[in-house]
Chain A
Amino acid sequence: MKQLRLIPAALLLVAPLLQAAPLDTGKSQINFTMKQLNVPVTGSFKKFSGTVLLDLKKPEAGKADISIDTASISLPTAEAVGEAKKADWFNVAKFPSARFVSSSIKNLGGGKLQVAGKLTIKGNTRDVTAPFTARQEGALTVVEGVLPVSRLAYKIGEGDWADTGTVADEVQIKFKVAIPAGK
């Protein structure tokens, strides 16, 4: 009987997990901008999914787990898309997905927040932090931020492509994630 009484307490503990809602992929975007000889070139990932929990009154308790389908990469030309899927770049055949798992969310004040976590691309995992803003849009919580990453830290662009004089090392990942209200 004692054990049974513990069940509601256990449920309370997992309650925040249950509120992590699948993100609204139709209203979310993952774009990135890289520089080729200082020419800004923007691309995006069209397919991703994940769950995010973010209560604006208690952001520290929030969490995110987002997986990106690397083969859904979009770039200005079909030729560039073909190249990006190859082994030197994302090697989509071997690494079909990239993943971000948050470890903590901090409230920086003034409407600014910061998420820290682990980003895995092409089998390489690195700690990253990204400032972001969050706002309520009807039933959705909309999170927007920029995550600067070093492409070489993830071996994105190997061989001749490792030359940062042609394609800069720093890539800006711009994310917009729409989270339906938790149930």
Chain B
Amino acid sequence: MKSSERYSSPAIALHWLIAGLIIATFIAGLLVSGLPLSPAKFKYIAWHKWAGITILALVVVRLLVRLLKRPPALPAHMSAAERLLAHGGHLALYLLMFAVPLTGWLMSSAYGFPVVLFKLVQLPDLVAQDEQLAATLKTVHETLNWIMAACVAGHVLAAIKHHVIDKDGMLYRMSLRGPRN
């Protein structure tokens, strides 16, 4: 496999970094929403917000990398429908990687609990305090998270399908180690 058939190194590094952060932040969000108010809950919420904003910043970098270094072409054996599905899935993931942290930030503003990144930098409030709007944004944030979970599951299943059924070596495009010779 030629190196031009792989994603660029920054794209690969960002993919796995963001993937790890998304999974950790998703699980933290799920666990925290069920906790009663406590100092521990405040800490977990703060960490969840910091992770979410970090993801948002990394996704911006990742999008720039993608625009500067185009991803490798899809394998030739893929049908038009499969290509459409692949591009649609990736587009959905990108949209969600922006929408999920942004709705989290929005709901923080609406609740009147601003985001103070790493206890250092207070981010501006995106909307004025409004508890009803906050409740709506919370539902939107949660719903988008479940849609993202479904997209991630589809993404993983598609990667496994390429590796196990098509045996087209596609997994190596995004592998941290590169193809084994």
Q: A25 at interface (Cβ–Cβ under 8 A)?
A: no
Q: A38-B120, A76-B131 are in contact. Are A167 and B112 (CB under 8 A)?
A: no
Check A37–B46 contact: CB distance below 8 A.
Answer: yes
Please indicate the chain B residues that have their CB under 8 angstroms from the CB of A76 in the complex: 111-113, 129, 131
**Nearest CB of B to A13, in Å:** 49
> B108-128 toward A: CB 8 Å interface, digit per residue (1/0)?
000111111001101000000
- In the assembled complex, the Cα of A167 lies from the Cα of B43 at a distance in Å of 10
Let me know if A161 and B39 touch, CB within 8 A.
Answer: yes
Task: Report if B42 contacts A (CB, 8 A).
Answer: yes
Size bracket, chain B contacts? 10 to 19
Q: What's the interface size class on A, roughly?
A: 10 to 19
Q: Which residues of A contact B43 (CB under 8 A)?
A: 37, 166
A-B pair count, CB < 8 Å, reads 48
Q: Is the CB of A39 within 8 A of B129?
A: no
> Roughly how many angstroms separate A160 CA and B43 CA in the complex, as a whole number?
13
Residues of B within 8 A of A41 (CB): 112-113
Contact A39 B131, CB 8 Å, known A83-B37, A163-B39, A166-B42: no
Check A36 for interface membership: any CB of B closer than 8 A: yes
- A3 contacts chain B at the CB level, 8 A cutoff: no
**Measured between alpha carbons, how far is A40 from B124 in the docked complex, in Å?**
12
A79 interface residue, CB < 8 Å from B?
Answer: yes
**Is B38 among interface residues, defined by CB-CB distance under 8 A?**
yes
A1 to chain B: closest CB distance in Å? 67
A-binding residues in B (CB < 8 A): 37-40, 42-43, 46, 111-116, 119-120, 122, 129, 131, 134
Given A37-B43, A79-B37, list of 20 further CB < 8 A pairs? A37-B119, A38-B116, A38-B119, A39-B113, A39-B114, A39-B116, A40-B116, A41-B112, A76-B112, A76-B129, A80-B37, A83-B37, A160-B38, A160-B39, A160-B40, A161-B39, A165-B39, A166-B39, A166-B43, A167-B42
Q: List 19 A-B contacts (CB under 8 A).
A: A36-B42, A36-B46, A36-B113, A37-B43, A37-B46, A39-B115, A40-B114, A77-B131, A77-B134, A78-B131, A79-B37, A160-B38, A160-B39, A160-B40, A161-B39, A163-B39, A165-B39, A166-B39, A166-B42
**A residues adjacent to B (C-beta < 8 A):** 36-42, 76-80, 83, 160-161, 163, 165-167
